[in-house]
Amino acid sequence: TASGGPPRCVVAVAASTGGPPAVQQLLSAIPRGLPVAIVIAQHMPVRFTRAFAERLDRIVSIHVLEAEDGMPLVSGCAYVAPGSAHLELALLGDTVCARITQAPPGNATITPSADRLFRSCGTVYGQRMCGVILTGMGSDGRDGAAAAHAAGARILVEDPRSAVMSGMPQSAIDAGIADEVGGVEVLAASVVRFVASWASVPA
């Protein structure tokens, strides 16, 4: 099994209003043992993100945990950004690690920022990144996904017609960066194919 080693690729997920069930559905389709790390920016208050990660960990086959600063990314794991903070990826030597930046009190910026997460994933992984934009209001994820897309990443977007909130998916579609649009089950199958395509490529 590929679990436990350095990820060959990364899947970044952006979700806001209506996101938890969609994130659960997406992660439920990911089998254990794939050489991928999944990073999730779900807009949620700080006291809820750890419970969200723990709940997902009990339900899905891959390991899910709340990301901590400096934590190395490991294959077969999904990392939930802590609420009221930003999760980004950084290369420390040969190891990809999570970097957590606390948002200043009273800051109007959306946390965790999908834009910042996607941008950093694109910088570190390039074409070995797949970004998934799920339900949510507003346009978080669009600009970061555009930067990642320019770096070679594949961007999947939930069909606005099936999303609880169409704002985030529609903004990505309007920006012309969606490589595929579909329901969550369709996107989940595409994620598995994406990871499988990198599984046989030397690291």
- Point out the catalytic residue in the list 120, 140, 166, 190: 140
- Pairing of the two strands 63-66 and 154-158: unpaired
User: Within a domain: residue 115?
Assistant: yes
User: Within a domain: residue 203?
Assistant: no
Give this prediction's pTM.
0.96
- Point out the catalytic residue in the list 43, 86, 149, 190: 43
140 is catalytic: yes
User: Within a domain: residue 2?
Assistant: no
Q: 3: closest CA among 82, 44, 62, 71?
A: 62
User: Within a domain: residue 3?
Assistant: no
pLDDT digits (tens, 9 = 90+) for 31-83: 999 999 999 999 998 889 999 999 999 999 999 999 999 999 999 999 999 99
User: Within a domain: residue 176?
Assistant: yes
pLDDT score of 141 more than 50: yes
- Point out the catalytic residue in the list 16, 75, 139, 190: 16
How far, in Å, are 38, 63, 95, 100, 139 from residue 92 at the CA level?
Answer: 18, 23, 5, 14, 30
Count of domains for the chain? 1
The CATH number that applies at residue 165 is: 3.40.50.180
Range of the domain at 140: 10-198
At residue 2 the predicted structure's pLDDT band, cuts being 50, 70 and 90, is very low
Q: How far apart are alpha carbons 102 and 130 in whole angstroms?
A: 25
Kindly report whether the peptide bond that precedes residue 169 is cis, defined as omega within 30 degrees of 0. no
Residue type, 99: R
User: Within a domain: residue 79?
Assistant: yes
Cβ partners under 8 Å of residue 106, min gap 6? none
